[in-house]
Structure 1
Amino acid sequence: MFLGKVVGSVVCTHKDESLSGLKLLVIQPMKDAEREAGKRIVAIDTIGVSGYGDLVYLAKSRESGLPLGLELVAADAGIMGIVDHYHTIKTGRDRI
């Protein structure tokens, strides 16, 4: 799993049946709440309530569609939840 920030949405006139009724959102992967990490991706909103500016946690690959209870979903990333708060403790080994 990894953190990301919702920075946009995708509108499709035609899409795979497994994505019917799901929002597609543009996500900026994040190292933490302040620092970006890599290129933007498109993810399915498996919880249905994510919106612009939300800090979310995501899963990639096959795990992206697990909350939907479907055998196979045409997605590379899926939002698993919205982050309300998180706390980390820095150690000498942290390289964030």
Structure 2
Amino acid sequence: MKLGRVVGNVVATRKDDRLIGHKLLIVRLLSPKGDGDLGPSVKGENFIIAVDMVGAGIGEDVIVCSGSSAAKSSGVPDAPIDGAIVGIVDSADVDPREVG
């Protein structure tokens, strides 16, 4: 699982039938910073499109799962889903000594 922040919506009028009825959101991945806060990830992939399973909105920090776990959590195991929002984060505490 990864931490991310919802930064936008995706509207796709033509998509795989198994995605009909699912809200798609743009999520910017987050990582712990030296001060103990969370900030935008700078390594590798920074943004993903994820299926929203919990009613998240723009600006909220979320928990995202990927791969086969994302498809399984959607309730449609064979759907072409590589990212799913499975939780909304109320708070996250990071020990700044553990982040370099």
TM-score (norm 2): 0.82
The runs of 5 or more residues in structure 2 that have no matched partner are none
TM-score (norm 1): 0.85
Paired residue for 1:88?
Answer: 94
Amino-acid identity (%): 31
Of 64, 88, 96, the residue aligned with 1:58 is 64
SS of structure 2 residue aligned to 1:8 = strand
The runs of 5 or more residues in structure 1 that have no matched partner are none
SS of structure 1 residue aligned to 2:18 = helix
More strand by share: 2
SS of structure 2 residue aligned to 1:74 = coil
Aligned residues: 93
Q: How far 1:46 moved relative to its partner?
A: 1.7
Give the superposed CA RMSD. Answer: 1.7
Paired residue for 2:85?
Answer: 79
